[in-house]
Amino acid sequence: MERLGVSSSVRDRLVGGQSPQYKGSYGGFIVIGCFVDGVAEGQIDAQMQPISALRLLVNNDSDMWVLLSEIFIQL
């Protein structure tokens, strides 16, 4: 799972520097979670707010499809 923030300065702070907290992805997104046992989960820390987009990215070839059956966003 990846998130895109409203401001690039937040991304630069979280991804850059000598001890980055998160891994950056293309298009300005930050990786916040991954698939574990078929479930993708991630948390968006308060320091990452506000966000403008979430992206679910599959990096491996598979005969399976992704079925988005449940999404829970807590504010």
Is the model more confident about 64 or about 13?
A: 13
The per-residue pLDDT for 70 is: 73
67 in Cβ contact with 22 (< 8 Å): no
- Give the pair of three-digit tokens for residue 13: 């702070």
Buried b (16+ CB within 10 A) or exposed e, 31-70: bbbeeeeeeeeeebeeebeeeeebeeeeeeeeeeeeeeee
> How much is the pLDDT for 9?
82
Q: Identity (one letter) of the amino acid at 21?
A: Q
Give residue 55's pLDDT: 86
Q: Do the beta carbons of residue 5 and residue 47 sit within 8 Å?
A: no
The pLDDT value given to residue 46: 81
Give pLDDT, residue 75. Answer: 67
User: Residue ranges of the domains in the chain?
Assistant: 2-55
pLDDT in tens, 2-60: 888 887 888 888 888 766 788 888 888 988 888 888 777 777 778 888 888 888 877 77
